[in-house]
């Protein structure tokens, strides 16, 4: 049986092919100003991720509000089995591979699988890897991680290769939302080189020049969350830097 790649993932792959990188914006469904943030990102994001590590209450309503503002694809980024909504387009179907608790590695995604099928959500298979300093952020605590040190890029890269062998097409190198520093360039480039799968980088990326570096190092997607609460200009500058680096990467 041939495994079919869904519409949203195909679109992301096409942007990566044509523009070198995608910009994903992460919206917290509990955010009071979600409409305002959706307004700010709608002309710059390639897709909107919705989710977070700490419980969700208003997910359906939040997604409906975003949908009124933009037609951008909405990809769920569930922190647990309650992070699913039939109003979204796709879901990062993820395993927190470096958790010490098998619940986050495989049980939570398994418990969510039937709901994903019922809601007709497009699953995008992804390894979720929490890298130093993620332990100091919410995902580190909730996800009971065995934090991967930044000075051991090979460990992250080996997880990415493992993810590829498991059939996952994406790996998310996560430093944690609000991290004091992002994943380093060496980890990104080695992960990309060894696995060849799509590499998403997020956590602690606040400056356009940092996103620029990450894309040149090999990131196929950049995620920002906290930045979106700043002025709308910050999103535009971030977008410009990601696309500029993407174009340069394609020329290489």
Distance CA 26, CA 75 (A): 9
| DSSP states along 3-52 | PPP-HHHHHHHHHHHHHS-EEEEEE-TT-TTHHHHHHHHTTT-SEEEEE-
- Single residue of 21, 22, 26, 97 touching ligand 1GP by CB under 6 A: 26
Distance CA 222, CA 209 (A): 12
Name the residue nearer to ligand 1GP (CB basis): 141 or 252: 141
- Does residue 204 touch ligand 1GP according to CB under 6 A? yes
- Does residue 74 touch ligand 1GP according to CB under 6 A? no
Candidates 37-45, 56-64, 217-225, 229-237: pick the segment binding ligand 1GP (CB under 6 A): 217-225
- Single residue of 29, 78, 109, 225 touching ligand 1GP by CB under 6 A: 225
Distance CA 51, CA 82 (A): 10
Are the CB atoms for 183 and 212 separated by under 8 Å? no
> Where do we find the tokens 């535009």?
236
Min dist. Cβ of residue 68 to ligand 1GP (A): 24
- Does residue 242 touch ligand 1GP according to CB under 6 A? no
Min dist. Cβ of residue 58 to ligand 1GP (A): 19
Query: Residue 221 corresponds to which tokens in the numbers above?
Result: 């997607």
- Does residue 179 touch ligand 1GP according to CB under 6 A? yes
As to burial, measured by CB atoms within 10 angstroms (0-12 exposed, 13-18 middle, 19+ buried), residue 18 is exposed
Query: Residue 245 corresponds to which tokens in the numbers above?
Result: 């680096």
Min dist. Cβ of residue 241 to ligand 1GP (A): 14
Q: Phi, psi (5° rounding) for residue 4?
A: -90, 135
Closest CB to ligand 1GP belongs to which residue? Answer: 202
How many residues sit close enough to ligand 1GP to count as binding (CB under 6 A)? Answer: 14
- Does residue 202 touch ligand 1GP according to CB under 6 A? yes
Residues contributing to the site for ligand 1GP (CB under 6 A): 26, 174, 177-179, 202-205, 223-227
């Amino acid at each position: 049986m041939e495994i079919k790649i869904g519409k949203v993932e195909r679109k992301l792959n096409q942007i990566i092919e044509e523009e070198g990188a995608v910009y994903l914006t992460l919206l917290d469904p509990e955010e009071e100003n979600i409409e305002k943030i959706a307004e700010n990102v709608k002309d710059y994001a390639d897709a909107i991720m919705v989710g977070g590590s700490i419980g969700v209450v208003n997910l359906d309503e939040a997604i409906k509000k975003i949908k009124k503002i933009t037609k951008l694809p909405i990809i769920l980024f569930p922190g647990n089995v309650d992070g699913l909504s039939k109003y979204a387009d796709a879901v990062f179907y993820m395993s927190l591979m470096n958790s010490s608790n098998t619940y986050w590695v495989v049980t939570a995604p398994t418990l969510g699988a039937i709901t994903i099928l019922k809601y007709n959500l497009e699953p995008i298979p992804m390894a979720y890897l929490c890298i130093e300093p993620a332990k100091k952020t919410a995902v580190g605590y909730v996800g009971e991680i065995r934090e991967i040190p930044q000075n051991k890029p090979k460990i992250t890269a080996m997880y990415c290769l493992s993810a590829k062998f498991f059939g996952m097409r994406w790996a998310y190198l996560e430093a944690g939302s609000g991290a004091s520093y992002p994943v380093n360039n060496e980890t990104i480039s080695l992960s990309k080189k060894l696995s060849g799968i799509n590499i998403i980088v997020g956590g602690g990326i606040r400056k356009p020049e940092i996103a620029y570096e990450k894309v040149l190092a090999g990131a196929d997607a950049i995620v920002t969350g906290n930045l979106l609460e700043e002025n709308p200009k910050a999103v535009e500058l971030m977008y410009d830097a990601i696309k500029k680096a993407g174009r340069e990467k394609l020329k290489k």
